[in-house]
Structure 1
Amino acid sequence: MTSLPAARPFFGWRVVAATFLLAVFGWGVGFYGPPVYLHAVVARTGWPVTLVSTAVTVHFLFGALVVANLPRLHRAFGVPRVTVLGAALLAAGVAGWAVAAEPWQLFAAALASGGGWVALGAAAVNAIVAPWFVRNRPAALGMAYNGASVGGILFSPLWVALIGGLGFPAASVAVGLAMTLVVGLLSALVFAKTPESLGQQPDGDRPGKVDARPTPRHAEPLAGGGPWRDRRFITLAAAMALGLFAQIGLLAHLFSLLVPALGEGGAGLTMAAATLAAIAGRSLVGWLMPVSADRRLVACASLGVQVLGSLILAVAAMTVDGGAGLLAGILLFGLGIGNATSLPPLIAQAEFRADDAARVVPLIVAIGQAAYAFAPAAFGLLRAGPGAEPQAGLPLFLAAALVQAAAIAAFLWGRRSRRPAVGDNI
């Protein structure tokens, strides 16, 4: 009797593990790195904070333009090639930040780093993981995206240690080479494979299995057939944009604001603690939010915690020894960091029909990205405004609280009188 060959283990979870590592580098170098680069460039060159903050804005804004075309690049050149090219471009850009001798060189480096990091960012993670999963896609993407938070935890203090020990140029080359090598190996060994090339089905299902997932009930359609006439969309987009604007604007300057009180090592560890708080906040909402909850109110509660954190930071900035207050404020502020990006899409899924939600979610994400790209420069102006000391954080903390309060108002303004039925859009 001839035995059948053993089925090959499902490769999708290896893809998730590899994409987790990709996200560690992508966010650790391309998202959490710029606040540290800002401080290092200002310390090395003596250039105004507003100038270097504008370069951070260019980094994020150009990245938003590139990510809008990332699916087209993936189709033209393939996911593995684009991912490796993104890693190499990001590495070259960060090295440019480290050695720029003229402002135009800094802005050229910002274009390279901003264009490169999005090939390792959220859209790339989704493009790599999605073909392997249908039924288990939310869980798989959640595990992969956790690499973004781990990247913040690891790289915020790591950049400080490497720059302090090796200098910014040598540190940028070391990290860039390691990142490019790792991403190259992942692309060749993992990302180049597809379910079709391995003869596997999404979720590891047997060929021919029918997906029996129930069709969820959905909420009301867009008013007037378009998003720009619908108050729910307008308020949701505004709330997400305002929340991210306050968040990214403050985070871009937070490291350099903490250094005078905590030192570079303490500031790096505190930034990592903020990221740990973000993981905790996102996990608590995921575990505790009831199916029937008004998700706008949950978002308001998350923002309310951040407002409290911003106000505690403002009080700590006015005291001589405000280390404990700074830590408490940052932990409270950090609890909402993850929810600022994860809750608005969940709100859209609860408030719009499936086909409308598919239009709404990319739009609100794009608007949010465009808004926060300008936040580092805008908050940089507050640091250099009339009467403001170079390291004074009080204006920034108060501005963050006010913008977050405006985001709460936008969420509340868009609430409907009728709550969605239990089971809708889950």
Structure 2
Amino acid sequence: METNKRYHGWWVVFCSFVIALYGWGLGFYGLSLYLVALQKAQGWSPATISSAVTFYYIAGAFLVMQVGDVIHKRGARPVVIAGAGLMGVGVLCLTVIDRPWQLYLAFLLMIPGWAAMGGGSINTIIAQWFNRRRGLAASLALNGATCGGLLFAPAFAWAIDTLGFATACMAAVAFVLATLWPLALFALRPRRDGEHDAGDEPSAAHDIGGEPMSRGQLLREPRYLTMVGAFSLGLLAQISFISHQVAYLEPTLGLKGAGWAVSATSLSALVGRLAVGLVIDRVDRRAASAAVLCVQVSAMIVLLSSESLFGLYLGCVLFGFGVGNLITLPGLIVQQEFPRRDFARAVSLNVAINQLVAATGPSILGVLHDLSGSYRTSLMVCLALQLAAAILVLFRPRGAVRDA
């Protein structure tokens, strides 16, 4: 058995961190930067560009459903290399388009990249190398997503402002491909026979024979539905609040103050995922998920009951604690309750459904704000969604089946 210090899986974690850093940087946080740049360059309305973004998320969800199976059959290396390349080509296409319909074509190229570099892909990659310490490994890898907002997006924004949109995109894509492709070639090799983390059994000892459950069978499993439903509700509230966070805070904190609050939320997300990652392999994952959601419920209560600077910042910090964990925890619940053979398909399907549901959130909160004249009703809806998610995730019908 290889010692822990030499275990190649930790290179896989590092590579997955970089994948998430670039994937969320270009394919998630970068969308708001593209919106502003295209609005200035082309004069297109935010509604025109936002409709293409909605298409990006909805169409992307159907590709995300497939990514776990593709990685399982073809390996992670070609999926990530091809996905990153298509993401880069799509971003470069944004710099030369001059008709709104062409925006959809550029996003069509970016969608496979988002699938290959998103949560479903990374959870599947980590699962191929880790079992006993999968929670810690997944938490470390997916912190790249948070750093995509903390590091990559601000650097990209600075480059756009300094160099211009086209030059900044070319520089960003060149940097991403020049660093990620060699790393993926080295790190994302297949696992060799007998190679496993210290303390883990060889994976064959945990396999249950037969074909993986179909997506239809998964969606008929009550314990799977309670998990998917809970995280769909939680992420619906989360994405909705994040998309309106600056608009909600700006009247009280000002634009700069709201920006600092967003940074505090991101830092709290980083700390929260690390903190949960250190203990999640030793606790019940559904109970931990409910606890994380309850922290976000408390954040909504603080934000609704206080208009002071301290209260608003505290609410944002509490909310941030759960931001990263809601994309890490579903895969860990699947590991705890389903055979290994079902992991890739179950995780990818969950990510796709979560994405489809969450894509409607920003519009729903906008409508609620317009109807009520304030964000108070919107925050109350977020609170109710998170509370419902915390309760639902605790239901685990039928016996759980671990792969360990």
Contact 1:64 1:370 survives alignment (8 Å): yes
Query: Distance in 1 between the 2:136 and 2:227 partners?
Result: 25
Query: Distance in 1 between the 2:349 and 2:72 partners?
Result: 22
Query: Distance in 2 between the 1:395 and 1:67 partners?
Result: 32
What is the aligned-residue identity percentage? Answer: 34
Match of 1:219 in 2: none
Q: Compared with structure 1, are the counterparts of its residues 85 and 305 closer, same or farther at alpha carbon in structure 2 (3 Å cutoff)?
A: same
Q: Of residues 285, 292, 298 in structure 2, which corresponds to 1:302?
A: 292
Match of 1:23 in 2: 20
Q: Compared with structure 1, are the counterparts of its residues 231 and 357 closer, same or farther at alpha carbon in structure 2 (3 Å cutoff)?
A: same
Contact 1:39 1:256 survives alignment (8 Å): no
Q: Of residues 111, 115, 120 in structure 2, which corresponds to 1:118?
A: 115
Gaps of 5+ in 1: 1-7, 216-221
Q: CA deviation at 1:202?
A: 1.8
Match of 1:32 in 2: 29
Q: Compared with structure 1, are the counterparts of its residues 62 and 345 closer, same or farther at alpha carbon in structure 2 (3 Å cutoff)?
A: same
Query: What secondary structure, in the 3-state scheme, does the structure 2 residue paired with 1:336 have?
Result: helix
Q: Of residues 273, 276, 282 in structure 1, which corresponds to 2:267?
A: 276
Q: How does 1:332-347 map to 2 (within 5 A)?
A: 332-347=318-333
Q: Bigger shift: 99-108 or 60-69?
A: 99-108
- Over residues 283-308 of structure 1, what are the superposed CA-to-partner deviations in whole Å (9 max), with x where a residue is unaligned? 33344569565x54543332232233
- Over residues 21-79 of structure 1, what are the superposed CA-to-partner deviations in whole Å (9 max), with x where a residue is unaligned? 22211122222322444455556666554443333222222222222333565588764
Q: Compared with structure 1, are the counterparts of its residues 86 and 267 closer, same or farther at alpha carbon in structure 2 (3 Å cutoff)?
A: farther
Contact 1:239 1:411 survives alignment (8 Å): yes
Q: Compared with structure 1, are the counterparts of its residues 30 and 286 closer, same or farther at alpha carbon in structure 2 (3 Å cutoff)?
A: same
1:406 aligns with 2:392: no
Match of 2:242 in 1: 251
Gaps of 5+ in 2: 207-212
Q: Compared with structure 1, are the counterparts of its residues 325 and 168 closer, same or farther at alpha carbon in structure 2 (3 Å cutoff)?
A: farther
Query: Distance in 1 between the 2:75 and 2:279 partners?
Result: 40
1:83 aligns with 2:73: no
Q: How does 1:136-285 map to 2 (within 5 A)?
A: 137-191=134-188, 193-196=189-192, 201-203=194-196, 211=202, 231-254=222-245, 269-285=260-276
Contact 1:12 1:133 survives alignment (8 Å): yes
Q: How does 1:253-402 map to 2 (within 5 A)?
A: 253-254=244-245, 269-287=260-278, 295-313=285-303, 324-347=310-333, 352=337, 354=339, 358=343, 361-382=347-368, 385-386=370-371, 394=376, 396-402=378-384
Q: CA deviation at 1:403?
A: 2.5
Q: How does 1:24-63 map to 2 (within 5 A)?
A: 24-42=21-39, 47-63=44-60
Query: Distance in 1 between the 2:162 and 2:252 partners?
Result: 21
Q: CA deviation at 1:265?
A: 6.2
Q: Compared with structure 1, are the counterparts of its residues 53 and 357 closer, same or farther at alpha carbon in structure 2 (3 Å cutoff)?
A: same
Paired amino acid for 1:309:
A
Q: Bigger shift: 56-65 or 252-261?
A: 252-261
Q: CA deviation at 1:241?
A: 0.8
Contact 1:54 1:377 survives alignment (8 Å): no
Q: CA deviation at 1:407?
A: 2.1
Q: Compared with structure 1, are the counterparts of its residues 97 and 248 closer, same or farther at alpha carbon in structure 2 (3 Å cutoff)?
A: farther
Q: Compared with structure 1, are the counterparts of its residues 43 and 376 closer, same or farther at alpha carbon in structure 2 (3 Å cutoff)?
A: farther
Contact 1:35 1:253 survives alignment (8 Å): no
Paired amino acid for 2:195:
P
Contact 1:157 1:268 survives alignment (8 Å): no
Contact 2:25 2:152 survives alignment (8 Å): yes
Contact 1:314 1:393 survives alignment (8 Å): no
Query: What secondary structure, in the 3-state scheme, does the structure 2 residue paired with 1:404 have?
Result: helix
Match of 2:209 in 1: none
Query: Distance in 1 between the 2:96 and 2:173 partners?
Result: 14
Query: Distance in 2 between the 1:153 and 1:306 partners?
Result: 20
Q: CA deviation at 1:243?
A: 0.7
Match of 1:5 in 2: none
Q: CA deviation at 1:354?
A: 3.9
Query: Distance in 1 between the 2:68 and 2:238 partners?
Result: 27
Structure with more of its chain in helix, by fraction: 2
Q: Compared with structure 1, are the counterparts of its residues 13 and 281 closer, same or farther at alpha carbon in structure 2 (3 Å cutoff)?
A: closer
Q: Compared with structure 1, are the counterparts of its residues 81 and 296 closer, same or farther at alpha carbon in structure 2 (3 Å cutoff)?
A: closer
Query: What secondary structure, in the 3-state scheme, does the structure 1 residue paired with 2:323 have?
Result: coil
Query: What secondary structure, in the 3-state scheme, does the structure 2 residue paired with 1:202 have?
Result: coil
Query: What secondary structure, in the 3-state scheme, does the structure 2 residue paired with 1:165 have?
Result: helix
- Over residues 253-281 of structure 1, what are the superposed CA-to-partner deviations in whole Å (9 max), with x where a residue is unaligned? 44566667667766555434322212322
Query: Distance in 2 between the 1:365 and 1:117 partners?
Result: 12
Paired amino acid for 2:270:
I
Query: Distance in 2 between the 1:125 and 1:75 partners?
Result: 12
- Over residues 95-129 of structure 1, what are the superposed CA-to-partner deviations in whole Å (9 max), with x where a residue is unaligned? 44566544323333332323222222234334555
Paired amino acid for 1:403:
L
Q: Compared with structure 1, are the counterparts of its residues 326 and 36 closer, same or farther at alpha carbon in structure 2 (3 Å cutoff)?
A: farther
